[in-house]
Structure 1
Amino acid sequence: MSNTLEILAPAGNREMLGAAVFSGADAVYLGLTGYNARRTAGNFTPDELKEAVSFCHARGVKVHVTLNTLVYDRELPGLADAVRAVAEAGADAVISDDLATAQLVKTIAPTLHLHGSTQMSIHTPEGARELAALGYDRVILARELSLEEIRAVCAASPIEVEVFVHGALCMSVSGQCMMSAFLGGRSGNRGACAGPCRLPFDAGAGLRPGQPGKACHLSLKDMDYIPHIRELMDAGVVSAKIEGRLRTPEYAAAAVAACRAMREGQPYDEKLVRDIFSRSGFTDGYLTNRNDGKMFGVRTEADAAATRAATPKARELFRRELQRVPVQYTVSGGVEDGGIKLTAADDAGNKVNVYSMDEPQPAQKDPLPGIERALNKTGGTPFAAAGITVEAGEGGLGFLPGSAWNEMRREALDKLLEKRSTVQPHAIQTFTVPEYPAHSVGHIPALAARFANAAQCPADYVEKLQWLVFPIAEADAVPADWRGKSLLELPRVTFGKLEEKTAARLAALQNAGFAGVVINNPAQLRYTGGWTLYGGLGLNITNPMSAARYTSLGLHGLLLQPETALTAMQGVAPGVPTAALCYGHLPLMLTRACPLRNVRDCASCHGGGTLRDRKGRDFTVTCSAPGGAGIRTVYNPVPLYMGDRLREMPVDTALAAFTTETPQRTAQILAALFAAQPFDSEFTRGLYYTNN
């Protein structure tokens, strides 16, 4: 088994960067100010990034920069500048989730490596293959995969595979959560998650309105796969990622040290890892296929007290830096040469020379043992002596006092470190972000509707609607005379065997008369050949550059991400029809873990339930496949409605998304939409009138 697994550590600020590197990380990931998924971390300015890269590269540590948030049209020039800053700093890779960022990286700095963020929700073999086709060098997998599923992706992937092994575990699949945005106005997809899922949510039964929830059914324990690192290495994973840019330097050091030890098959301090941060312990439920109530947990005062007690011990892990850069010495000259030259060389081809200030004197005994003792004292530096070659003159090396050798060693290593610290920027290509035309406003968009099932669709509205959208699981129930205007919606996630089953189902339906397919994950571009394609909610389209890229990949229409304000929607005009939601209980979370698992088992569940927050609001939870293999969706209790303001929506199509409504209620809402009437109960405009 190879021990080349990369240990990738978080660096939310300069102090954490130092702790991660000194404790032995092989690579760090950090954010440039703006455009990253941890905007509340310290992050780095362009000048600070150059210093960070210099510091890391001198020690043989790679730097991955996160540019992994959704961006809007007006931000594209700034994003291009950010890519240039990363290239000029000489960083190793960009972590990206938006195809606009990917295109800017490949256009501006083609030698920069491109890593597909976990925000892209890639979790299948076809997803990895598609990222490779899109020009990515590495895929960072979704956190919800089992070891078997990770192994399957690694076996199929043409590019490197990175997985999270330790740290916070979001309830929702990354990139598919809108809870913070719609409950608190702070978008996790824009790097400002407020963590509302960590607040109390109860299963709802028997509570009075306004009664506080009693449990945290949306709060998972931190993941800990450190004990499984050797299995992940055997599966083909190349990088083990530690989550936690918002945590402490001590946390980063403890996790890095544990990962390094486990990689080498050595024991590590499990108690220190747990005490430095946990939510009453850890979970490996996804990796080991134990998706149960034991996955849930909250941070307690006892946990905080354990952290305070463990911090001094963890701090010792980075008090002195790990000596890991091999240095080869060559000693030449001697008594007859009037001096001694010390050459220090690393394994990257860097070499420096220093000379003795004093002339060596004839030696009374072999000087080599003393020289070796002096040159091997590399503590306090990143260097480790790898050997000494002696090329003495005819009169021998002679004698120099230990202080002289110590001074020569210090000078040589200082010069070698300085040489290794030189930033090597990437070549930058000239590129100007195009000026995309704005979408026209003032017209009323056509109406389309998405239904959870065929029975929910009122027959009276079939002819009136531009499109009917149904989950692919409902294909057989869609009447033949509806299919010419019906689109089949593919799942946003297809864990396990569902990807193969979905591809097979599509192939079987190829000649069934449907108008097209709505894809919700880049992976689905791999097995939808021959279909007319449209982009759905899961693609998170927010700007004209990513929209144009998807258009070039064959999409004939695009549903814009619901967090996008109307002003930003106006800037998305890729040359194909765009759509936006005009009605619906927004899917705030898409989760593989069941938030109801603490109050019922799958055998007694009939496809969902409700969660009640501390304000007494009930959130509907649905399950795609009752019995344990399904995906759960948590919906906003208040629906979005724009029926009386359709003219203000700068899109071609307004889509009403129906979930748990009865056919009668569906008909009432469609009637209100076609009549441009106000809504008849509580509703929200979502984020459409915000200034994002």
Structure 2
Amino acid sequence: MQSLGVLNLNKPLPELLAPAGTPEAAWAALAYGADAVYAGLTQFSARAGAGNFTSEALDELIGYAHSLSRHVYVTFNTLVQQRELNAALETFALIRDLNAGGVIVQDMGMARLIRNNFPQLRLHASTQLAVHNLAGAKQLKASGFSRVVLARELRLAEIREISRNCGLETEVFIHGALCFSYSGLCLFSSHMLGRSGNRGRCAYCCRQPFKAKDENESLPFSMKDFSAASHLPALLDAGVASLKIEGRMKSPLYVAAVTEFYRKALEGDSADEEQRLSDIQTIFGRPSTGLYLDDSADNPVDPVNDGHRGALIGTVKSVVGPWLVLHSSRALQKHDGLKIESDGTHPFGFAADEMRLASDPEKKRRFELPAAAEIALKLPADSPRIEIGVPVYCSFSQAVRQRYEFSTPRPGVFRQRRPVDIHVLQSAESVALTASADCDGTQVQVENTLPGPFEPARQPEKSVEAIRRCFEKLGETDWMLGKLTFGEGSDPVFVPASMLNNARRKLIDDFSEVWNQSRKSFFIEEVIPTEPAAQLISWSVKTRCFKLLENLEGIDELVLEVDLSNLASINTAIVALPPEKLRLALPVIIREEDTVAFREFIDSLPNQQKWEAANVGGLHLLKGKADITADWPLYTLNTQAALQWCDQGIRQFVFSPEDDSQNWSALIPQLGDAAIVPVYQHTPLMISATPPAGHEEKLTDRSRRSFRIEKNGRQFVVVGKTPFSLVEHFDELKELGARRFRIDLCYGIDTSEQAGDIVHKIIHAQPINGHSGNFNRELQ
């Protein structure tokens, strides 16, 4: 990790946002200075492997945070299939009722559901939306978002441009693990193992070893951990609203230490900075990188280590028998954990069960060793050969564990309860009890009457107090007593305690039922299906190179991705093809420095030109165009997403190649001609701003699967040798009602002969090798 820069404390401080994968991590974050935490429920969280929260636990967390004037944001940052829409609505209703500070979403269909049904919920755009330019942020503002979590790959200048001009709060990551791919654009785990990163079940394929040619294995995609510590002054100056720590899979100890580090940094407290950095490394530490915040030549990939290494404490000075001798920069306690890079690839770990000062007699043992001392650690019997000069790390510190203690709230104390007002009208003939509360601007009211006769109260003031005490005992209900009022001219009467308690229970039960019914006002819009024209099959072929497709026989539409460095090829296609046969596609990644050139190119073409967008930023650049298709990265896994895209000018939707046949069977009848089904492509498994370590073009994993790395502008794209193909399922797809099909040749194709052969075989339903992705297995 890098050390801190000098902060300008005269500027308002941004929010410090910490991860809460479990309730314990949340308590730790709030205890050590987080202004807000983000947490997921057991469904619809992009960290399905985290502990996550039950509704009861989230309720208490939000109640506790509110008592501290802090916020809790709920993560709903996954893609949602059609069959899950009702469950999504129920979850949003729960989030509303729990008074969350905001909802973090990836699926634009979910943004629509929230806007239509729960407008009081603040929408935060997940980093899974891959917003990397000002145009993308503006598009989200127009869609009702209050905050956008920017892509991690941005440079400081880009963050500044977006933050100062988008009209939204911007949130940026400042610490934690990095993905090799732009978030939301990785299909590696999904295509290879059926575990979708967009559904919270990433298998971390980028952390696995690969081979290049006949070389030893390495980790070409394994990223270092992100640390923006030295860039805090610049981020504050840029106008960022929230600084986010990654780590919902991390321990409460890690969350406590990292949160405290950045809290003290924001407050200008640099005392013991190096010690706190070292502490964090002992809890969980990979080598760190500032990624692209500056123009550093630092390589953000670590091809050697993929996991926890620890804090560097020294290098091996000598090995004398079973004793390893080094000069340690860190104090140690007995049973602390150590790691040694014994062979350069797999660190050897052991516990400091026997240790002494190097100057001590060999028989002497110590429970603690001071910092800045020459020490001797006894190696275990299975220790490998240790070379002189290799680094030694402390990978577990009992002192650090003891340093970051925190208390947890007592269960039930911070459960949130809504106030209910009680009105009492007493007479000798009856006692009328009325419960009322405001529900989203509508007054909900229930009355319960106790029949008399009743005798006058001998001590009226005690009668009133008895009624108050009764309604303060609302127990395990969702309610607390608000205002207690009595009708004018009402004479206090004596009501037996048992009768009053029973009346209270019935009144509150009846009120809760009416309240819940009044809150279920949400709805799901239906999409009116469009009939396929004369049941004809339509083929579109997408490519990045016009020359690859010399023969367009049988193709209804050529989709050509725009490459501004090769406009001659684009102009050739525009001249050669009639307007109805050519669709120009904007790339999924358009960095800020290129947006002006893309806008000028778009404006230079006639209005009847057809377009395709693959990102919300590209969609914003195409605003006002009449015929736009959404490529698969603008995910359409439910009809609500389709409606959202329709509102923004989109007429057709290319389905995601990671979706399954069950979901398509639900969508195709709804979307009709607007549905475009991908039947062939070398799917971009990862799209990255970072070159893989070694800059290799071909790699093989341990399952002997082959991959290649292609360049698309500034991006590095990982594709598999075996293409995604649904050719053998063509009849099934037609039976589902599909009539528009997409052949994507953007990657994995080298010659026009290859391209022509693939298109000919597919159109004529001839066999073609490939894998079917998740088509026959449920998308996880």
| TM-score range normalised by the length of the shorter chain | 0.7 to 0.9
1:472 matched to 2:481? The reply is: no
Question: In 2 relative to 1, CA 150–318 (structure 1 residues): closer, same or farther, beyond 3 Å?
Answer: farther
Aligned to 1:533: 628
TM-score by length of 2: 0.69
How far apart are 1:168 and its partner, in Å?
0.6
Pairing partner for 1:313 from 384, 400, 403: 400
Pairing partner for 1:284 from 263, 284, 290: 290
1:70-105 residue CA offsets vs partner (Å, 9 max, x unmatched): 011100000000001101111110001111111222
434-443 or 305-314: bigger deviation: 434-443
Whole-angstrom CA distance in 2 between matches of 1:26 and 1:128: 24
How far apart are 1:561 and its partner, in Å?
1.2
1:614 matched to 2:614? The reply is: no
Q: Which amino acid aligns with 2:757?
A: Q
Equivalent position SS for 1:478: helix
1:177-207 residue CA offsets vs partner (Å, 9 max, x unmatched): 00011111110000100101101123x2345
Question: In 2 relative to 1, CA 476–440 (structure 1 residues): closer, same or farther, beyond 3 Å?
Answer: closer
1:672 matched to 2:739? The reply is: no
Aligned to 1:507: 603
Aligned to 2:744: 657
Q: Is the 8 A contact 2:105 2:125 kept in 1?
A: yes
Pairing partner for 1:242 from 245, 251, 271: 245
Whole-angstrom CA distance in 1 between matches of 2:732 and 2:299: 45
Q: How many residues align?
A: 569
Whole-angstrom CA distance in 2 between matches of 1:548 and 1:105: 13
Whole-angstrom CA distance in 2 between matches of 1:227 and 1:258: 12
Aligned to 2:540: 448
1:15-42 residue CA offsets vs partner (Å, 9 max, x unmatched): 1111111111110000011111001111
Aligned to 2:439: none
Question: In 2 relative to 1, CA 81–52 (structure 1 residues): closer, same or farther, beyond 3 Å?
Answer: same
1:572-630 residue CA offsets vs partner (Å, 9 max, x unmatched): 234651112111111100100011xx325xxxxxxx822222233321111123xxxx1
Question: In 2 relative to 1, CA 437–686 (structure 1 residues): closer, same or farther, beyond 3 Å?
Answer: farther
Spell out the pairing of 1:370-381 with structure 2 (5 A cutoff).
Answer: none
Whole-angstrom CA distance in 1 between matches of 2:18 and 2:753: 53
Aligned to 1:113: 122
Where does the alignment leave 5 or more consecutive residues of structure 2 unmatched?
A: 1-9, 311-336, 339-392, 410-478, 483-514, 564-568
Question: In 2 relative to 1, CA 321–47 (structure 1 residues): closer, same or farther, beyond 3 Å?
Answer: closer
Spell out the pairing of 1:46-195 with structure 2 (5 A cutoff).
Answer: 46-195=55-204
Aligned to 1:221: 224
Give percent identity, aligned residues only.
Answer: 29
1:637 matched to 2:721? The reply is: yes
How far apart are 1:319 and its partner, in Å?
2.6
How far apart are 1:6 and its partner, in Å?
0.6
Equivalent position SS for 1:143: coil
Whole-angstrom CA distance in 2 between matches of 1:206 and 1:687: 32
How far apart are 1:646 and its partner, in Å?
1.5
Pairing partner for 1:523 from 617, 626, 629: 617
1:263 matched to 2:250? The reply is: no
Q: Is the 8 A contact 1:540 1:560 kept in 2?
A: yes
Q: Is the 8 A contact 1:276 1:311 kept in 2?
A: no
Question: In 2 relative to 1, CA 307–244 (structure 1 residues): closer, same or farther, beyond 3 Å?
Answer: farther
How far apart are 1:302 and its partner, in Å?
3.9
Q: Which amino acid aligns with 2:397?
A: A
Aligned to 1:31: 40
Q: Which amino acid aligns with 1:526?
A: H
Pairing partner for 1:299 from 306, 318, 323: 306
Equivalent position SS for 2:396: helix
Aligned to 1:587: 684
How far apart are 1:524 and its partner, in Å?
2.1
1:547 matched to 2:642? The reply is: yes
Aligned to 2:354: none
Q: Which amino acid aligns with 2:98?
A: A
Whole-angstrom CA distance in 2 between matches of 1:639 and 1:99: 28
465-474 or 444-453: bigger deviation: 444-453
Q: Which amino acid aligns with 1:517?
A: W
Q: Which amino acid aligns with 1:541?
A: T
Q: Which amino acid aligns with 1:271?
A: S
1:503-528 residue CA offsets vs partner (Å, 9 max, x unmatched): 122122336x74x1110111223221
How far apart are 1:637 and its partner, in Å?
1.9
Equivalent position SS for 2:694: coil
Question: In 2 relative to 1, CA 321–567 (structure 1 residues): closer, same or farther, beyond 3 Å?
Answer: closer
Pairing partner for 1:623 from 711, 722, 746: 711
How far apart are 1:175 and its partner, in Å?
0.5
Whole-angstrom CA distance in 2 between matches of 1:423 and 1:120: 43
1:510-557 residue CA offsets vs partner (Å, 9 max, x unmatched): 36x74x111011122322133521101221221111011101211111
Q: Is the 8 A contact 1:94 1:115 kept in 2?
A: yes
Q: Is the 8 A contact 1:54 1:422 kept in 2?
A: no
Aligned to 1:402: none
Q: Which amino acid aligns with 1:585?
A: H
How far apart are 1:296 and its partner, in Å?
2.6
1:640-674 residue CA offsets vs partner (Å, 9 max, x unmatched): 12223222224331111112322111111112112
Question: In 2 relative to 1, CA 541–310 (structure 1 residues): closer, same or farther, beyond 3 Å?
Answer: farther
Equivalent position SS for 2:73: strand
Equivalent position SS for 1:293: coil
1:466-504 residue CA offsets vs partner (Å, 9 max, x unmatched): 211111124123152324211111111112412222212
Where does the alignment leave 5 or more consecutive residues of structure 1 unmatched?
A: 208-212, 323-420, 601-607
Aligned to 2:14: 5
Aligned to 2:424: none
Question: In 2 relative to 1, CA 177–444 (structure 1 residues): closer, same or farther, beyond 3 Å?
Answer: farther
Whole-angstrom CA distance in 2 between matches of 1:656 and 1:664: 15
Question: In 2 relative to 1, CA 218–100 (structure 1 residues): closer, same or farther, beyond 3 Å?
Answer: same
How far apart are 1:440 and its partner, in Å?
8.9
Whole-angstrom CA distance in 1 between matches of 2:520 and 2:526: 19
How far apart are 1:436 and its partner, in Å?
5.1
1:420-464 residue CA offsets vs partner (Å, 9 max, x unmatched): x999999957112245578999977422111220110132xx242
Whole-angstrom CA distance in 1 between matches of 2:155 and 2:397: 31
Whole-angstrom CA distance in 1 between matches of 2:651 and 2:300: 44
Equivalent position SS for 2:577: helix
Whole-angstrom CA distance in 1 between matches of 2:44 and 2:575: 46
Aligned to 2:52: 43
1:489 matched to 2:589? The reply is: no
Equivalent position SS for 1:599: helix
Spell out the pairing of 1:340-351 with structure 2 (5 A cutoff).
Answer: none
Whole-angstrom CA distance in 2 between matches of 1:273 and 1:201: 29
Equivalent position SS for 2:666: coil
Q: Is the 8 A contact 1:646 1:654 kept in 2?
A: no
Question: In 2 relative to 1, CA 320–689 (structure 1 residues): closer, same or farther, beyond 3 Å?
Answer: closer
Q: Is the 8 A contact 1:436 1:571 kept in 2?
A: no
Pairing partner for 1:430 from 503, 511, 521: 521
TM-score by length of 1: 0.78
Q: Tell me how large the CA RMSD over aligned residues is.
A: 2.7
Q: Is the 8 A contact 2:190 2:773 kept in 1?
A: no
